[in-house]
Structure 1
Amino acid sequence: MSLLLKNVHVLDPNSPAHTKQADILIESGKITSLKGKSAKKVIDLKGKMVSCGWMDLNAQFSDPGNEHREDISSGSDSAQAGGFTDVCLTPDTNPPIQTKSDVNYLIKKSSDFLDIHPVAAISESLRGENLSEMLDLHDAGAVGFSDGDNPVWNTELLLKALQYTNDIGVPIIQNARDINISSKTHMHEGRVSTHLGLRGEPTLSEELTIQRDIEILKYSGGRLHFTKVTSAKGVDLIKKAKKAGLAITCDVGIHHLIFTEDSLVDFDTNLKSLPPFRTEADRKALIKGVKEGTIDAICSNHRPYDQECKQLEFDLADPGSISLQTFYPVLLKLSKEIPMETLIERIVNGPRKVLGWTEVKIDEGEEAKLTIFDPNTSWILNDQSNMSKSRNSPFWNQELTGKVIGTINRKSYNLRIK
């Protein structure tokens, strides 16, 4: 079926229609014209914006093992409502994603609207002791390797993992935290943690791990990606490693671009995060890293938890929040500090470059992977609008500005137009 998107404002620096109003004609899952005249289905999108489909490098759907928090269906609905056409799922499920059948399970759960890309375990059971069957997992469809929220503490294992994946060109994804320094911590170590009486994690935990892993990368070769960086010094270390020619990339969690340690003064457990929110100086360094391109991508760090895990004293609550569905309103907040064009790049081609994929663009002959959004619509995240099984959002019951209208994923589309 042919589909015509009329009067839509294009936001794609790689497109000849960038910053212009276009009539995008889609036929058989491909863009065939930017000046379309007619189609079987015509949708007027005047006042709405379109970019290439958004991609998330780091989300948990809790499936298999904790489907009461989230499952593939509810996670996919949240992602699609948040504007994503592609999501990489972390391997820290129960059991972990560490066999070919595990990878196949996730891939087969991809819907018409959302492509799921499994990130498989680096080590068996995520323990950091024995390597998983990495080549078999890659052949099955794993797009990268990670131990999820567990940092790879075993330097020999990290070295071997980088060497084994050198020829296949996929990244080793590291959560840069020293497990000993970070053990039993609940927030950033500093002025606020002292005031609140909570044990804090210093930025040293991240900085030491990044320094160590860069040296290993120099020796081993391969591709190394740091996920959810948080500190000014961490960003600077990565920037210098990039200038030295190392195959290194990084991303930042979207909430780390707007929240700081000061956000925790009310002990809101929905703001307890892994890794923790840092200082305002660190947040500004992350903003600068995104603007300059040192930070390649912005991820959701979507972590669903049931109320039994969150309605507790702060030091007993699990860290993490849902963030897929509220992603665009946060982008709009950030657009006061970072150009929206840059933000879109960090969720469109930034993630794809991390994985070594070809760039996407809005042009004739290109695959139709599109996200349509409205910067002027306001809405409230509550039990009626929430697509996730979990409610652990720092924006719960708040009015938000900016809403995703829908996505187009090749031949499938879901546009919520009044």
Structure 2
Amino acid sequence: MSLLLKNVLVLDTNSPAHQQQANILIEKGLITSLNGKSAKKEIDLKGHQLSCGWFDLNANFNDPGNEHREDIESGIKVAQSGGFTDVCLTPDTSPPIESKSDVNYLIRKGNNAVELYVSAAISEGLNGEGLTEILDLNDAGAVSFSDGDKPIWNAELLLKALQYTKNLNTPVIQNAREVNISRNTHMHEGRMSTNLGLRGEPSLSEELIIQRDIEILRYSGGHLHFSRVSSAKGVDLIKRAKKEGLYITCDVAIHHLIFTDDSIGEFDTNFKSLPPYRTEKDRKALIKGLKEDVIDAICSNHRPLDQESKQLEFDLAEPGNISLQTFLPALLSVSKEISLDILIDKVVNGPRSILNLQPASIDVGQEAKLTIFDPKAKWTLNDSTNISKSRNSPFWNKEVEGKVAGTVNRSYFKINK
């Protein structure tokens, strides 16, 4: 079936229709015209904007093991409603994603709305000791290797992983935290943690591991990706290493571009995150890192949690937030400080480049992977609008601005209500 998206403003710096109103004609999953005249299905999108389909590098759908928090079906619905056509899932499920059958299980669960990619476990049981069967996992379709929210604490294991993956064109993903320094901490260490009487994690925890891993990469070669960088010095260390020519990439979680440790003043556990929200100085350094292209991508860091894990004293609650459905409002709030063109590229081609996938563009002959949104629409995330099985969002019961109107994924399209 042919589809015509009429009168929509294109936001794609790689497209000849960038910043122009266009009539995007889609036939058999491909864009066939930027000035289409008619189609079997026509949708007038005046007042809406169009970008390439968003790609999330870091989401956990809790499947298998904790499907009461989220499962693949609900996760896909949340991702699509948030504007994502592609999602890379983390391996820290129960059991973890560490075999060919595990990878195949997740890939098969994807549907026409959202294509699923898999980051497989780098160590057996995510315990940091024995290396998984990296070659077999890659053959099964794994596009990257990590231990999810657990840092790769074992330097020897990281060295071997980088050596094994060097010729696979796949990154090794590190959540940079020094396990002993960060153990039993609940927020960033600083003035606010002292005021609240909570044990804090210093930025040093991240910085030490980044420094260590850069030296390992310099020795081994390969592609090292730092997931959810949160500190000013961490950004600076990565910037210097990139200038040396080391194959390093990194991303930042969307909420770290908005919130700081001051956001925790009311002991709201929905602001307890991994990594923790740091200072305003750190937040501004992350913004600068995006502008200077030190930070390659923005991820959701989607972590659904049941209320039994969140409705507790702050020091007992688990860290994590849902963030896919409210990704656009968060992104638009950041656009007050960074060009929206840059931000969109960080959720479109930044992730694809990191995973060595083909770039996306709104042009004739390109696959139709598209995100449609209304930047001015206002809505409230609550029990009536929430699509996730969980409700652990810092935006809960708050009015936000910016709503995804729909997505196109090749021959599939859905216009959200």
- TM-score normalised by structure 1 residue count: 0.99
Map 1:156-195 to 2 at 5 A: 156-195=156-195
| Aligned position for 2:210 | 210
1:15 matches 2:31: no
For 1:35-71, what per-residue CA distance to the aligned partner results, in whole angstroms no more than 9, with x for missing partners?
1001000100011000000000000000000000000
In 1, Cα distance between equivalents of 2:111 and 2:266: 39
Q: Which residue of 1 aligns with 2:143?
A: 143
Secondary structure at the counterpart of residue 180 of structure 2: coil
What are the residue-to-residue correspondences of 1:288-299 with 2, within 5 Å?
288-299=288-299
How many residues of Structure 1 are paired with residues of Structure 2 in the alignment? 417
Deviation at 1:384, TM superposition (A): 1.2
Render the CA deviation track for 1:201-225: whole Å, top value 9, x for unaligned.
0000000000000000000010000
Q: Secondary structure at the match of 1:181?
A: helix
Q: State the partner residue of 2:309.
A: 309
CA distance in 1, matches of 2:64, 2:384: 26
Q: Which residue of 2 aligns with 1:396?
A: 396
Partner Cα distance (1:86, 1:193) in 2? 37
* Letter matched to residue 371 of structure 1: T
Counterpart-to-counterpart distance in 2, 1:263 and 1:12: 33
Q: Which SS does the other structure have where 2:374 is aligned?
A: strand
Give 1:244's aligned amino acid: E
Give the whole-Å Cα distance in 1 for the aligned partners of 2:357 and 2:188: 35
In structure 1, what is the equivalent of residue 124 of structure 2?
Answer: 124
| Equivalent-residue separation in structure 2 for 1:356 and 1:22 (angstroms) | 30
Unaligned runs of 5+ in 1: none
The residue type equivalent to 1:320 in the other structure is G
Structure 2 residue matching 1:159: 3-state secondary structure: helix
The amino acid that maps onto 1:329 is: P
Contact 2:296/2:346, CA 8 A, preserved across alignment:
yes
Counterparts of 1:166 and 1:330, CA distance in 2 = 35
Give distance in 1, aligned partners of 2:212 and 2:376.
45
CA–CA distance in structure 1, aligned partners of residues 42 and 274 of structure 2: 44
Q: 8 Å contact 2:61–2:71 — kept in the other structure?
A: yes
Question: Percent of aligned pairs with the same residue?
Answer: 71
Deviations 1:339-389 (A, max 9, x none): 100000000000011111121100000000000000111111111111100
Give the C-alpha shift of residue 393 in structure 1. Answer: 0.4
Residue 416 of structure 1, CA deviation: 2.6
Distance in 2 between the 1:390 and 1:127 partners? Answer: 27
Match of 2:24 in 1: 24
Distance 1:357 1:72 in 2: 23
Q: Secondary structure at the match of 2:216?
A: helix
User: Conserved in 1, the CA contact under 8 Å of 2:81 and 2:416?
Assistant: no
Distance in 2 of aligned mates of 1:51 and 1:67: 31
Structure 2, unaligned runs of 5 or more: none
Which residues in structure 2 correspond to 1:16-415 (within 5 Å)? 16-415=16-415
- The RMSD of aligned alpha carbons is 0.5
- CA distance in 1 between counterparts of 2:356 and 2:64 reads 28
3-state SS, counterpart of residue 405 of structure 1: strand
Q: Distance in 2 between matches of 1:234 and 1:380?
A: 35
- Which secondary structure state, in structure 2, belongs to the residue aligned with residue 104 of structure 1? helix
**Alpha-carbon separation, structure 1, partners of 2:8 and 2:302:** 29
Q: Which runs of 4+ in 1 moved over 3 A?
A: none
Measured in 2, the distance between the counterparts of 1:276 and 1:416 equals: 33
- Secondary structure of the corresponding residue to residue 328 of structure 1: helix
Q: In the TM superposition, what whole-angstrom CA distance separates every residue of 1:140-163 from its partner, at most 9, and x where no partner exists?
A: 000100000000000000000000
Name the aligned partner's letter for residue 370 of structure 1.
L
